Amino acid sequence: MGMKSIRVGRLAGIPIGVQPLWIVIVALITWSLGAVYYPDLVDGIGPLAAYGLGLLSALLLFASILLHELGHAVVARRNGVEIEEIDLWLLGGVARMAGYPKTAAAELRFAIAGPAVTLLIAAIFAAIAAALPSSSPAALRALVDYQAFVNLAILVFNLLPAFPLDGGRVARALIWGRIGDVERATAIAASIGRGFGFGMIALGIAGTLLGAVGGIWLALIGLFVIAAAKAEERGLHVRVAFTGREAGRLMSSPAITIPADLNVAAAVENYFVRYRHTAFPVTGDDGLVGLVNLEAVGRVPAARRAETPVGQIAIDDPALVIDQHQDVAELLERPAFQRVGRAVVSAPGRELGIVSITDVNQVMRALDLASAA
C-alpha cells in the first residue's frame, strides 16, 4: 500500500503505524455498532452507552489485529527476519519484513502464527461467552459475542488462499515444501490468488447489481488481491534474479563524489543539475562521509544553502555502504536502500562505486529480455 501510515507507538520494539483510512474504519465500526448492534441486543440502552460500547468494541478489534500481527512478528524474528513496521490498514494489518523467510518451513511458521493468535483470541472470547451466567448484563454478553464473532471472521477471511492474506502464504509454503522451487510455488499460489480475486470481483459486481451494499467492497478487495499476487510474483522474481549477483558487477565506478566542504547551493548546480543523479557519495579528507540525496538537500532552507556544507547533511548509514561482494538481492531488502535508492561500494585503496535502483531495474530488463529470447 502506497499510502503513508501514521506512527502511533512501539510494541516489542516494533514501530506501529496506522493508515489514515483505518481511522475511518474504526469510526464506521463504532457507528454501525452504536446505531444498530447494541440497541438491537440491549433493551433500553441509551445512545451514549451504545456508541461508547461501539467504540470500545472497535478498539478491542484493533488490539486483536495488533496481536495477530505481533504473532507474525515474533515468529519472523525467531527465524532471523526483522520486522520493520506493523501497519494497520483497511483489511487488517501487515507486518512488513526486512528480508524474507529462507525455507518453506520458516515461511509456513511465519504465515500460520498470526491466524493461530486470532484463533486463540476467538476461543478465549467464546469460552467467556459460554461461561457467562444467564444473569449477566446483556451489554457484556453482546460485547463478548461480538469479539468472538469478529475474530472468527478475521480468521476465516485471512485463511483464504490469496496474497496478501495469510492463506496465500500458507499455500505458497506448502507448495514450496512439496516441489522445492520457491519461484514456481509462488507462481502457482499467485494464480490461485488471482482466481480468488476474479471470483471476488464477479461476486461483488453481481451483488451490487442485486442491491447488496457490500458488493462494491468485495470487488475492490478482489482488485487488490489480484494486484498483490502480481507484486508478490514480481518481488520474488527480482529477488531470485539478483541472488548471488555481487554489487561489484553492477556498480558504476568511479562514482562522481561531492567534496564534504562544498556548500549545498553549489552542489545542486554543479552535481545534481549537471549529472542528474538523485544521490551522490560525499567524501572528506578521511574518505567517505556519507550519501547526500535530493531529499536531504530539500530539507535545507533555500536561504541557508550557500553556507551549509554538504558534509553536514550527508546521510551516514552503514546499511548504505557495502563492499563489492555484497549480494544484491540482500541489498534490495534493506529498508535504507529502498528509501534512498543508492548504496556506495567501498573498498580500501580503490575508487568508490555506486549501485542505484536505476541500475538494478536496467539489469532486470536485460535479464528478462535474455530469458524471453
Q: Which of 193, 19, 21 is nearest to 201 (CA)?
A: 193
Q: Looking at beta carbons only, is 166 or 333 nearer to Zn ion?
A: 166
Q: Which of 165, 188, 202 is nearest to 89 (CA)?
A: 165
Q: State the DSSP string of 189-251.
A: HHHHHHHHHHHHHHHHHHHHHTT-TTHHHHHHHHHHHHHHHHHHHHHHHHHHHHTT-BHHHH-
Site residues (CB under 5 A) for Zn ion, limited to 206-245: none
Q: Is 69 a catalytic residue?
A: yes
Q: Is 309 in the site for Zn ion (CB under 5 A)?
A: no
Q: Looking at beta carbons only, is 52 or 99 nearer to Zn ion?
A: 99
Site residues (CB under 5 A) for Zn ion, limited to 63-122: 114
Q: What is the Cα–Cα distance from 296 to 309, expressed in whole angstroms?
A: 12
Q: Looking at beta carbons only, is 166 or 233 nearer to Zn ion?
A: 166
Q: How many separate helices (H) and strands (E) can be counted in the chain?
A: 16, 10
Q: Looking at beta carbons only, is 107 or 166 nearer to Zn ion?
A: 166
DSSP SS3 for 172: helix
Q: Looking at beta carbons only, is 168 or 197 nearer to Zn ion?
A: 168
- In the DSSP assignment, the letter for residue 273 is I
CB of 315 to Zn ion, least distance (A): 33
CB of 116 to Zn ion, least distance (A): 10
317 φ, ψ (degrees, to nearest 5) = -120, 115
CB of 91 to Zn ion, least distance (A): 10
Q: Which residue number is nearest to Zn ion in terms of Cβ?
A: 114
Tell me the number of residues near Zn ion by CB under 5 A.
2
What x-and-dash track marks residues 41-60 binding Zn ion by CB under 5 A? --------------------
b/e code 117-148 from CB counts within 10 Å (16+ = b):
bbbebbeebbebbeeeeeeeeebebbbbbbbb
Kindly tell me which residue out of 84, 107, 166, 233 binds Zn ion, with binding defined by CB under 5 A.
166
CB of 144 to Zn ion, least distance (A): 23
CB of 97 to Zn ion, least distance (A): 12
Q: Which residues bind Zn ion (CB under 5 A)?
A: 114, 166
Residues with a catalytic annotation lie at 69
